[in-house]
Amino acid sequence: MASDVKSQKLRGAAFLDRDGVLNVDHGFVVKPQDFEWVDGAREAIRYLNEAGYVTVVVTNQSGIARGYFTESEFRALHRWIDEDLRESGAHIDAVYFCPHHPDAALPAYRRDCTCRKPQPGMLFRAIRELNIDPTSSFLIGDKPRDCAAAVGASVASHLFTGSGLLDLVRGIVANAKPGAPHTDR
């Protein structure tokens, strides 16, 4: 799906952290039966789609580095998320994740890297690969490290406190600067 987005001109993006923003953070969620949508998350994603934003998940996934689940299991969960969103008339354009951690149990994932938030590597990669205009983009995260990654990539950041995601998204879109995607709903 990312290749479809890349062929288009620069557009604004909504970068969304996953755990704590899209789903209730129960800790190392990898099975659909353990995935609980944050109230209004599917509607918020649909709203962003309709407003013209490239919708991108950027998520640290140290559970991979700790050996709690594999990259394949992570990808399988996101296929399920995609199917669930389609039923709601919504979609995520791309998912970027960091499987690394400096204290990883699995040596292949043990490192400090520029993709692990608060570093902006995932955002820079998405900006480059998806032709995103950072000045017309924003990130919603539930932790200061999410916001720090956005600042490092020159992307506006918003801290989500656990409720009212759709209202937050509507407010961000309504107050978007000229040139950013928008809707008049």
Answer yes or no: is 63 within a domain. Answer: yes
Task: Tell me the residue range of the domain where 11 lies.
Answer: 2-128
Number of folded domains in the chain? 1
| pTM, full prediction | 0.91
Q: How far apart are the first and last CA of the chain?
A: 27
Answer yes or no: is 96 within a domain. Answer: yes
- List the catalytic residues: 17, 19
Answer yes or no: is 165 within a domain. Answer: no
Answer yes or no: is 62 within a domain. Answer: yes
Answer yes or no: is 172 within a domain. Answer: no
Distance from C-alpha of 21 to C-alpha of 50, rounded to nearest angstrom = 19
Reported as a single tens digit per residue, the pLDDT across 125-165 is 999 999 999 999 999 999 999 999 999 999 999 999 989 99
Reported as a single tens digit per residue, the pLDDT across 41-97 is 999 999 999 999 999 999 999 999 999 999 999 999 999 999 999 999 999 999 999
